[in-house]
Amino acid sequence: VVPTGPHPLAQYLASVDGRYGATFLDPPWRELFGRSEPPLIEPFNVVGRILTYVAGAGATHLLPVAEAMLTCKHKFPDEDSYQKFVPFVGVSLA
C-alpha cells in the first residue's frame, strides 16, 4: 500500500513499520502528493523509492481484509437490482 496523501491505513502501517513511515510519510513525500497540481519536475524518484522499500522489506504485515456487499438499482424501475462486492482493508486506530 503506497499512500498518496494522509490516510489512516498509511498511519497504521507506519506505526507497525518504522521503515515504511520513514519512506512514505516524510515531509517531501507528503508535499509531493498533497499538491492540487502536479509539479513541473519530480523532486525525487517515486518509483525508485517504492522499489527500494520493497527490495529491503524484511517482513510481511497481515492486514484484515473484509468485503462489503452493495445492492445497486438501475435508473428504471422495471430493471432488476444487482449486487457488487467491494473488498477493503480494515484497521483499528484505537
Spell out the per-residue pLDDT of the chain, length 94, in tens.
787 777 788 888 888 888 888 888 888 888 888 778 877 877 778 888 889 988 988 777 778 888 899 998 877 878 888 899 998 887 666 5
Cβ density class 16-37: b for 16+ within 10 Å, e for less: ebeebeebbbeeebbebeeeee
Put residue 5 in one of left, alpha, beta given phi > 0 → left and psi -120 to 50 → alpha: left
pTM for the predicted model, two decimal places: 0.63
**pLDDT score at 94:** 58
